[in-house]
Amino acid sequence: MASALYCREIPQVGGNTLFTNMYMAYDLLSDGLKKLLDGLEAVHDIRDYAPFRTRDAEQRAEMNRINPAVAQPVVRVHGETGRKALYVSEALTFRFAGMMEEESAGLLKFLWRRSVQPEFTYRHLWRPGDLLMWDNRCAMHMAPADYAPGQPRLMHRITIFGTPSGRVYDEQAPVLAAA
């Protein structure tokens, strides 16, 4: 549902965090595209998530076991506000449910680019002692690796669980129990 990040140490250069407003990314789509996206699900999968690629085969197998692919609505309706938000991520979304990656690629690339347009984003320049909270249902975040190796970047993060969404996705039997 939400996360909070507390800054203890920050590198001399870089170490910022980028946030994007997924309400705005959805709201400013054309009506025709909104209609197309409304019933689609996207498959979110850590299998090719960059931080896990460096792990050994046994670690990756365990991560895949405890984090199976999940089909999520492309347009997520916020439980409290009722507002619609785009719900795709370049880091984790690889295709639409029921489609191959190559069939999904063009539209996903458009949505990824759309969601991180400058007018939808905020870059937080951290200072020790800063505390930020955000709603994971309508915001995405990313910490670019834009600082020198060996420079300190120490953050404490908590995640607040909310109502689960999506469903475990199996290409052989795509309709499974809720995740």
Burial of 131 (0-12, 13-18, 19+ CB in 10 A): exposed
The distance between the two most distant Cα atoms of the chain, rounded to a whole number of Å, is 50
pTM for this prediction: 0.85
Contact 179, 165 (CB under 8 A): yes
Residue spans of the chain under pLDDT 50 = 174-179
Per-residue pLDDT at 178: 43
Per-residue pLDDT at 174: 43
Per-residue pLDDT at 64: 74
Per-residue pLDDT at 61: 78
How far is residue 142's CA from residue 36's CA, in Å, rounded to a whole number? 27
Q: How high is the mean pLDDT of the chain?
A: 90
How far is residue 74's CA from residue 57's CA, in Å, rounded to a whole number? 30
Per-residue pLDDT at 172: 58
Estimate to the nearest angstrom the gap between the alpha carbon of 128 and the chain centroid: 25
| pLDDT tens profile 82-126 | 999 999 999 889 899 999 999 999 999 999 999 999 999 999 999
